[in-house]
Amino acid sequence: MKRLWQMDFLTLFGIYVAVVLTCIALVCKYSGHQQTPLGRLLDTFTGVVSQLIPQCLQSICYRTLHRLFHQRNNIFLYLHLLLEVVVYGEFSYEVFGFCLDMGTSSISLCIPYVLLALKSYLFYLCCSRDPGTLTKANHTTQLKVYQYDEKLFQQGVRCSTCQLVKPARSKHCRVCNRCVQRFDHHCVWVNNCIGAQNIRYFLLYLLSVCAMAGDIAVLTADMLLQTVLRTGLLHSHYIDEQGAQHPAGPLFIIQHLFLTFPRIVFMLGFLVFVFFLLAGYSMFHMYLALINQTANEWFKGKGHNCQHCHPYTGHNCKTSYNPFRGFYHRGILKNVGEIFWPLCPVQKKEN
């Protein structure tokens, strides 16, 4: 019975991992499409379930979701810090000591803490730095930074909330209630908009979190591997309920590690999940940086950029669009430079 429960638990855990990875794959595949199979399925499910839920409970759920995702709050910021404390607490309490006993160098074990300090500094900059708020003082200047593509950004459009003419590539964030220069998106994890003035910190923050998760995952996996090798599990045997002897296979070893180090194995699974999730997200934003597009422009106008129409040559045509090259593409080096040194309007010298 005990062995059966263990195997059932592993089966359910495997199903859980498969479902999570499937959801990530669907989101990545259909991101940017207004109507997707996943979205239609979710709308159908919501419509059926809403008929079974009392109206008062629906109102509470709606207000809660509105509070979480449509108003500035620190809930995700605290959740982010809590997950970080749990992971580093488990790593310091168990994995660190095991790694030292197995001969892992002190320098390798100190790298996660160096990455934590770096990530914390970048996280602070993402949360505290102004993303590029448009004000009456800088509005006239910002109108001269980018040209209008007359597709996603039309000249003369006024923000109905701020009552300011929208500069090209700007957008009003309804969560922060402000217009932001070169608006990318609003990130709930840093409780701030990502725009022209803090996108560089956000990209470095993503890379630092990926490095943190990857480094701790590698150290943890190495510790578990050394445990398997030193205890001779690869060459061990077990006796089943019928008394027959069998060699220990991968499933038996995984089950043994899970029952011996349950918290460590769960932490490793979580870190691998976070690493691949953020690695994909980081690659997406790095790609946008290379072609000089924002996430807002990508999801709002996929396929609306012509490879022949260019803002700096003045050439305009009606040929087919190339979604892999944005209107503001200036070359890879200049595109990356624009992330770290935001464009400013050229001031003419007075004679």
Compute φ and ψ for 246, nearest 5 degrees: -135, 145
Please say if 187 is a catalytic residue: yes
Q: What six digits make up the tokens of 213?
A: 């998760």
Q: To which H or E segment does residue 239 belong?
A: strand 237-239
Q: What six digits make up the tokens of 345?
A: 């309007």
The two beta strands, 178-180 and 171-173, are: antiparallel
Answer whether 326's CB lies under 8 Å from 293's CB. yes
Query: In the block, which residue shows the tokens 């992971």?
Result: 87
CB count within 10 Å of CB 142 equals 25
Q: Which of 162, 179, 187, 306 is catalytic?
A: 187
Handedness of CA 293, 77, 123, 94 (dihedral sign): negative
Compute φ and ψ for 79, nearest 5 degrees: -65, -40
Catalytic residue annotation = 187
